Structure 1
Amino acid sequence: MKNILFAILIGTTLTVNAQITEEAKISTLPSLAQSNPSIEKNNLEAPIYTTVCTMQTKVLSQTKEVYPFKIYQIDGASINTQQDMYNAIRSAVPSVSITNTNLNQTPIIAMRGDSNTIIIVDGVRYDASILNLLNPSDIENIKVVNDVAGSNYFLNGRY
């Protein structure tokens, strides 16, 4: 008898709106109570509690390329306030040392002791000796890379 009532209760819950979160009473059809006189009317009503679950989705509209090395980027606004390119790089990129910046000397840009540092200005790879000749107000961004993977990546012309 309990199984029949349980089946009736499950069948009637399908008609309840899923948006209602308050307590609801479900009553069976009057014909069921009339066909079986042993079922009491009070036993046919049971409280039903419904739970509403919502799910949020997030759509990515832009992807970012992930590199196996760190790229330090300096924007053009911060470059224009500096006196020269060497000071702009020195102030924006941590652990960079620039030596031999005097006239008639080839500068050496080293990052964490490694002198194979790559400088990319507006998508063009430059040698450290020509950086001081560039006009800082014409530059949009500078990228500084120091890693073996970075040097291999930027050797192929991917800037």
Structure 2
Amino acid sequence: MSPQEIRAAVADFPHAVELIEDSEGIYRLGFIHEGEGMAIHDIRESSCGRFEGTPEMYGVSQAQFDAFDALAAGIEKSAEKSLNAMALEVQSLFGVDSGDVAGVHFSGGSALQTIRKMLITYLVAEINMNFSPSRPQPGESSQLPAAASSPHP
């Protein structure tokens, strides 16, 4: 999907996209499906994980379905690339030609989990800033209302 197609699909996505934790404790891009009250992180599966997910199942269009899937895959790809780039930078400082120590050091996934969480919260912030219904539209004031004075000194 092109960036324009993803933006158009996300703009009308009917569920709040958020950081969720799956049943294995892994941070994922997800949304709460109000109809089932379930956190969905893999749109290509049913909420129980036994069936193939469909746009109709989650009340989204095919474009929204594909856009959410693309965003979730992009988070995973970005997290892996980020970790590899960090390790490569350290290795280049020392002239290390092998990723053996990095492979051992980063095994277990806690670093990847931390990076994934940062990327998802950033992506959610971008969505909220760019597509939030409360975001001022062109020509509207972007100033926040004045804070109410506190009754306490």
* Greater Rg over alpha carbons, structure: 1
Using CA pairs below 8 Å that are at least 6 residues apart, which structure has the higher relative contact order? 2
Query: What interval of TM-score do these two structures reach, taking the shorter chain for normalisation?
Result: under 0.3
Instruction: Give the structure with the higher percent strand.
Output: 1
TM-score (norm 2): 0.20
Instruction: Give the structure with the higher percent helix.
Output: 2
